[in-house]
Amino acid sequence: MIQRSLALALAVLVSPLVAALALLVRLDGGPALFRQTRLGAGREPFTIHKLRTMRDGTVTPLGRVLRRTGLDELPQLIDIARGRMRFIGPRPLTEADVVRLEWDGPERDLRWGVPPGLTGYAQFAPVCDRALSWSLDEFYVRHRSAALDLKITAASCAALVLGKQRAKGWFWG
């Protein structure tokens, strides 16, 4: 309940920024929001919301900035307020990604036992690797704590200022 209330308050607070960014995305052509079905806790599907960063299969110049700073993720505050996600947890994946990564078997149920997060431990992995991402998600689920959440939160805030790549170096450095 606290996360949902905090997400709603933050969504209201950042709504002028999101509105301005949405207008810029809209001026680039096409819709401002990207919606996609992802799998949440218990592998239940839900719709995730992000600012659109691509056009015709290519990341736009504005999209590059939005992704680097993580600002494209701000509409997910509404997904948290709705109770579909939390601030921290394994990232929600599409069903196709789950199959491609081979994370669809019952031996992978642990990851799906917690709600997905806006950010998570695996998002700060030094490299994008299926086995590493799995082990970091599994570690997070098994060792969730206020201290770990605080470290992930600090790294996520640093990503807004420094960019994701530099925040990854700070996180692991």
> Can you give the three-state secondary structure of 24-42, one letter per residue?
HHHHCCCCCEEEEEEECHH
Instruction: Put residue 47 in one of left, alpha, beta given phi > 0 → left and psi -120 to 50 → alpha.
Output: beta
Q: What is the CA radius of gyration of the chain?
A: 16
Q: At what angle do helices 164-172 and 61-69 cross, to 10 degrees?
A: 20
Beta strands 86-88 and 117-119 are parallel
**pTM flag (> 0.85):** yes
Tokens (6 digits) for 145 = 């704590």
What's the pLDDT at 173? Answer: 58
Beta strand 58-59 with 54-55 is antiparallel
- Taking only the tens place, the pLDDT of each residue in 73-110 is 999 999 999 999 999 999 999 999 999 999 998 999 99
Rounded-to-integer distance, Cα 57 and Cα 3, Å: 34
- Decide: 72 and 66 in contact? Cβ < 8 Å: yes
Q: Measured at the alpha carbon of residue 145, what is the angle toward residues 148 and 2, in degrees to the nearest 5?
A: 105
Taking alpha carbons only, the member of 113, 130, 120, 101 closest to residue 159 is 120
Q: Tokens for 1?
A: 């309940």
Say what the pLDDT of residue 8 is: 96
Indicate the domain borders of the chain: 2-172
Cα separation values, 60 from 57, 63, 106, Å: 9, 5, 38
Structure confidence at residue 4 as a pLDDT band (50, 70, 90): very high
Max CA pair span of the chain:
46
